[in-house]
Amino acid sequence: MIRNSSILNRKTTALLVIDIQEKILPVIRNTEQFLGNSKKLIEACKVMKVPIYLTEQYPKGLGSTTNFLTPYLSDAIKLEKSTFSCFGAPGLFNALKETGITQLILTGIESHVCVQQTALDLIANGFSVSLAADACSSRKEIDYNIALSRMRHHGVDISTTEAIIFELLEKSGTEEFKQVSKLVK
């Protein structure tokens, strides 16, 4: 039996956490929900041994990743960037290709700037992209909504944190399922 190629496969998937930095958060909509879902994705990926990449946009000016998430990101591969797209994070796209990653899960801010440009660049470079719509945000609702619509139009799978986690799990009854199902309750 053949599974749909858009279903995430943890052997070829990585999580990309985009610019969830302390100084940006005060102006972001739905911060509590967005951060909570980002944390769930990070924790679930850690349990399932899905690689995690983390970017920070100009950390000298925008600060580092929020303290809310840093305890869960100790094993993440961290990259600084000055471009809005993660395409400009030194060596990121090449590293993904070299390690056999073909599918990316995105979480981060802002949806209409760094997340959107990254998603579009990933698609242009042959990656499959799943965006956790409830684990990204922007300052303005219209920017968020238009970004999701534009990304969907260009081939990004728009999904939710919980749907993504269960795609990666694939089945129940495992020790991983027991650990991860506690995260989504």
Cα 162 to Cα 83, 140, 144: the distances in Å are 30, 24, 20
86 is known as an active-site residue: no
Q: Choose, from 114, 121, 134, 157, the residue flagged as catalytic.
A: 114
Q: Examine residue 110 and say whether the peptide bond preceding it is cis (omega within 30 degrees of 0).
A: yes
114 is known as an active-site residue: yes
136 is known as an active-site residue: no
Q: Choose, from 39, 81, 121, 157, the residue flagged as catalytic.
A: 81
Q: Choose, from 19, 121, 134, 157, the residue flagged as catalytic.
A: 19
Of 82, 73, 90, 71, which Cα lies nearest the Cα of 16? Answer: 73
Angle at 69 between CA 102 and CA 57, to 5 degrees: 65
- Annotated catalytic residues are 19, 81, 114
